[in-house]
Amino acid sequence: MELESNNAPSVLLRAFAPLHQTAMGVAWGVVGGGLLAVATLVPVIRGKDFLSFGLLEQFFWGYSVSWRGVFIGLLWGFGVGFVLGYGFAFVRNAAVWIWLTVIRSRAEMEQYSDFLDHL
């Protein structure tokens, strides 16, 4: 599929647009908190711990496989997910900015190299 020449700038602007860091953090936080809460809720409802969550108790203060642990896991999952999502968006935005800056600098140097040859 070919792009029309007048549509290309808007497509490029959308492709290289920066990610909203807070929105990415909230999205990852909701998913992470929901997954940890559901993963804790299943053994609580079934009454047996068929998945070993003992290691999570060492990392997340107050967490346990219990009804209380479901809500604490939801909060911890949201917090960890938010930090990871925010960090991912930050690093991606920085990498795209550096990449575009390098490309622009190379294009400017190439444009001016012809000018300097004629001096």
- What mean pLDDT comes out for the span 45-56? 75
- What mean pLDDT comes out for the span 25-54? 87
Neighbours of 30 (CB within 10 A): 16
Give the model confidence (pLDDT) of 77-86 as tens digits.
Answer: 999 999 999 9
Neighbours of 11 (CB within 10 A): 11
Q: pTM here?
A: 0.77
Q: Which long-range contacts (CB under 8 A, 24 or more apart) does 9-14 make?
A: none
Kindly give, in sequence order, each residue whose CB lies less than 8 Å from that of residue 82, ignoring residues fewer than 6 positions away: 25, 26, 28, 29, 32
> Over 80: is that where the pLDDT of 119 sits?
no
Task: Work out the angle between the directed axes of helices 21-46 and 67-117 (0-180°, nearest 10).
Answer: 150
CA distance 62 to 56: 10
Mean pLDDT for all residues in the chain: 85
Residue 93 in contact with residue 60, Cβ under 8 Å? no
- What mean pLDDT comes out for the span 79-94? 97
